[in-house]
Chains A and B, each alone.
Chain A
Amino acid sequence: MQDDYLIVAENVSKWFPIRRDLSDIVLRRPIHYVKAVDNVSLKIKRGEIFVLVGESGCGKTTLGKLLLKAYELDAGKITFEGNDISVVKGKKLKEFRRVAQVIFQDPYASLDPRFTAWDVLNEPLHIHNVGSTKEERQEIIFRAMEDVKLIPPEDFLERFPHMLSGGQRQRLAMARTLVLEPKFIVADEPVSMLDLSIRAEILELMFSLKHRRNITYLYITHDLSTARYVGDTIGIMYLGKIVEMGRASDVIENPLHPYTQALLDAVPEPDPSNRFKERHVRITGEIPSPANIPSGCSLHPRCPYAFTLCPVKYPEMKQISNGRLASCYLYEPTVSDVKAD
């Protein structure tokens, strides 16, 4: 049922024009684009954590920003609770801005150094006109601080960001989203700058908020091991496209797309017996520049399967088995018989 989904994105694209210099303009060279997000569709269920995994530059942040209407779409459509977000205006838009929030990767850069914890948490209330009295606001702020375990709140209210540890800063950033009673949070690599010993507490916090406040997350990461811990659904992104989607455990245990398989081949694990063998990663080379994406299936120059059709035509995303989606000709018998030379 459509109602089970909080957010539905259909064939969305965001292409950034590459800056041209004067000679390009004089010579009327065509405009080139970075296809940061290219014809992506996804659905996020209410109360789930959807994990978007991919290498740097593949378009994760851009897709997250599209879902928050931080960028205008170049193509496609996004609905939030059934409403098309590209046309919402006025009061409805303000409401969307309140319930759809973001947490960034860098807890050091995302907080204004001149703001105390109180200021950080009070500002969104002020902007969105939440709470009519100071007491009311204090109650909301204290509740958020307790939710993220900045306790007792009195100890933290007067502190500036530099007086907080990295983990505490990230928790303050989470509290800042909570004061507005959000329904949807884009968490863009929220733990990648934090030390191992404090990562788990942030992930744990996300889980508990998902349950207690029924928050839906888009969790962006390049790390498949954490994706497995936090994710209900995983989407694997390569050069602006989602190439595989499915239940987190299915994707990790039984990857369908050659790119997902290669990513999984490469993930290091804390097991010292690994040092006696070399890792065999099924694809070779490095990710090409997003300004220069190969034709057809963009993985084809690196792919061990590469059929004749792969450089010619992009394989549409198809349901391969129950709840498993992938865009690869490996799963189309008529195509996968014909091998490129």
Chain B
Amino acid sequence: MVELEVDNLKVHFFTSTGTVRAVDGVSFSLKGKSLGIAGESGSGKTTLGLALMNLIPSPGRIVSGSISLDGNNILQFNEEKYRTEVRWRQISMIFQGAMNALNPVYTIGHQLMEPLKFHSELVGEKARKKAEDALREVGLDASMMQRYPHELSGGMKQRVVIAMALILRPKIVIADEPTTALDVIVQAQVINLLKRLERELGISIIMITHDLSVISELVDIVGIMYAGELVEIGPAEQIYNNPKHPYTQKLLNAVPRLHGKRTKLESIPGIPPDLKSPPPGCRFHPRCPYVMGICKVSTPPYFTFTDQKATCWLYKEKA
């Protein structure tokens, strides 16, 4: 079981109009469990995932912090070492929207073997065998190798991109919005599949989504991102039943439920800040119902409650 530790990670995009602080001081650790990262559009979820894969596109850069696997800071690896030892091998990713980005002119087999191309020992027959095994793991037939993307349904395409992430048997799989483009019945099938893979292959899944319902179907630990920061993280039960951060609380009150009492849905006034010039202090303070003087000037640290932590000044006294 591999241990992932992310410490004070910052990823910024240096655009012509300013610096976008997309991930701004994120820390967490993970061992043998699955993690969900939830947050609204633009909160930095995908950027965090790409950072773990060391695939931040320009004009972005990891500006500070560390990412360690079993104690080795992989950010210090050069690209060659990262490519042969880490990416796809230890950590892989199902990219947001990948199922709709499959190349129409290549067969599924061709695209599935993409992660193998930097592994010279895995060519020809060996490579094909790996790809077929991966297809079987996601419930597809090996004959899928010869087909083209347009011949596949949405659910099948999503299974193909999941197979691609599994091909080198990684220990951690990042799944970025893996069900967002799917209808609800296929979504349930894909979530069932991810559960089975987690159990049978012993992988840790890092599920990224804006959907707090989907995430609760799968993960043990939930982290909530707001404006580039991980404002709360803890065991799923704690986050859903006893959220500490006002943002988490408000967000959960906005989730429509299918059963139970039909309580009024809440919305959070205002909008998330522009990450080029986030507000000083706590980034949530302009929208927070409990805002205090200190929130406007000073960035709250994590306050810890057994295995849950949240960045909110409300807990200063209790700490």
Question: B-contacting residues of A (Cβ < 8 Å)?
Answer: 55-56, 165, 167, 195-201, 203-204, 222-226, 228-229, 252, 262-275, 278-279, 281, 283, 286-287
Contacts and interface: CB of A to CB of B under 8 A. Distances in A.
Contacts of B217: 268, 274-275, 279
Contacts of B237: 272-273
B47 to A, nearest CB: 17
B216 A275 contact: yes
A266 B179 CA distance: 12
Q: Which 10 A-B pairs have the closest CB atoms?
A: A272-B236, A200-B265, A200-B267, A266-B188, A225-B256, A55-B183, A197-B268, A201-B267, A268-B213, A195-B40
Interface string B215-256: 011111010000000000000110111000000001110111
B183 A228 contact: no
Contacts of B220: 275
Contact of A199 (B212, B218, B265): B265
Given A268-B216, A275-B216, A197 B267 contact: yes
Contacts of B210: 195-196
B192 A204 contact: no
A272 B254 CA distance: 17
Given A201-B267, A275-B195, A281-B189, A270 B153 contact: no
B212 A270 contact: yes
Nearest to A267: B258
B213 A55 contact: no
Given A198-B271, A275-B195, A287-B183, A225 B257 contact: yes
A228 B156 CA distance: 30
Contact of B185 (A226, A229, A281): A281
Given A55-B183, A279-B188, A272 B216 contact: yes
B251 A196 contact: yes
Contacts of A283: 185
B96 interface: no
B214 interface: yes
A269 B250 contact: no
Interface string B164-195: 00000000000000000001111111011001
Nearest to A262: B185
A196 B254 contact: yes
Interface in B91-137: none
